[in-house]
Amino acid sequence: MSWPNRITVLRLLLVTPFVLLLLNAASSPAYRYGAMGLAAVIGICDAADGIAARRMGAVTRVGSLLDPLADYALMISALVTLSIPGVLSANPDLQLPYWVSVTLVSRDLFMLVGTMVVFFLTGFFQGLPSVTGKAATAMQFIMVVLMCAAPDLLEFLPRVMPVVLHAVWGLTVALGVISWLGYLRTGSKLLAAGGHGG
C-alpha cells in the first residue's frame, strides 16, 4: 500500500461524510460549506495522488483501479444527492436537473463497469486518461462546489446565477458525453486487440 494508494483510500473514506453533510445542507450553511470543503479536499487529493504516483514511480495495478473508483464513488453520490428536491434549498432552481444527473451517472456507471470488463477480459489494468476525460472530471468537481455555494451566491446575483448554473450544467454534460464516446472507442480497441492497445 503505497502513499499514493493511501491517499486514494482516504478519498474513498471521505465520500460518506461528504454525502452526510450534503444531505443536511438545507438546514444550515455550515453543512453546505463543510460538504464544499470536503469536495475540494477530495479534488486536491485526486491531483496529489496522481502526481505522487508518477514522481515516486509508484503507479500500481491496485492504484489504477482504485483511482477511478474513488472518482466515480464521489461523483455518483454527489449527483444523486444534489438531484434530491430541497436538499440544498427550497428554491427549485438549485436542484440539479435530472437530465444532468441521469446523463452523468449513466456515464460514470458505464465507464466503471467498462473498466472492469476490460480488466477481466484482457488483464489491462491501467486507466485510460484523456484530455476530455480529465476535463469532464474537473468540471464535475467545479459543478459540485458551485452548487454548494449557489444558495448564497443566488442572493447576491439573482439574475446571473441561474444562467451560470445552466451554463456549467450544459458544459459538464457535453464534456461528459464526449469523453464517454472517447472511452468507448478506446475500450473497444483494447478488447479487439486483446488488451495490448494496438
Taking all residues of the chain, what is their mean pLDDT, rounded to a whole number? 83
Q: Is residue 18 part of a domain?
A: yes
* Counted domains in the chain: 1
Structural domain includes residue 25: yes
Does residue 121 lie within any of the structural domains? yes
Closest residue by Cα to residue 4 from 76, 75, 70: 70
In a domain, 97, yes or no: yes
CATH code at position 160 = 1.20.120
Q: Is the residue at 197 inside a domain?
A: no
Alpha-helical regions (H) of 57-198: 61-82, 98-122, 131-156, 160-192
Q: How far apart are CA 121 and CA 192, in angstroms?
A: 11
- pLDDT score recorded for residue 64: 67
More confident residue, 188 or 161: 161
Round to whole Å and give the CA distance between 43 and 21.
17
Percentage of the chain lying above the pLDDT 90 cut: 33
User: Would you say 125 and 65 are in contact if contact means Cβ atoms under 8 Å apart?
Assistant: yes
Query: Quick one: which of 116, 114, 98 has its CA closest to 182?
Result: 114
pLDDT over threshold 60, residue 128: no
User: What range defines the domain where residue 36 resides?
Assistant: 3-192
Average pLDDT rounded to a whole number, residues 104-127? 76
The percent of residues above 70 in pLDDT, for the chain, comes to 82
Q: Is residue 123 domain-resident?
A: yes
pLDDT beyond 60 at 126? no
Q: Is residue 198 part of a domain?
A: no
**148-172 per-position pLDDT tens digit:** 999 999 888 888 999 999 999 999 9
The pTM score is 0.82
Q: Is 182 within the bounds of a domain?
A: yes
Summarize the confidence of residues 93-97 as an average pLDDT: 90
User: Helix 61-82 vs helix 3-23: angle between axes, to the nearest 10 degrees?
Assistant: 10
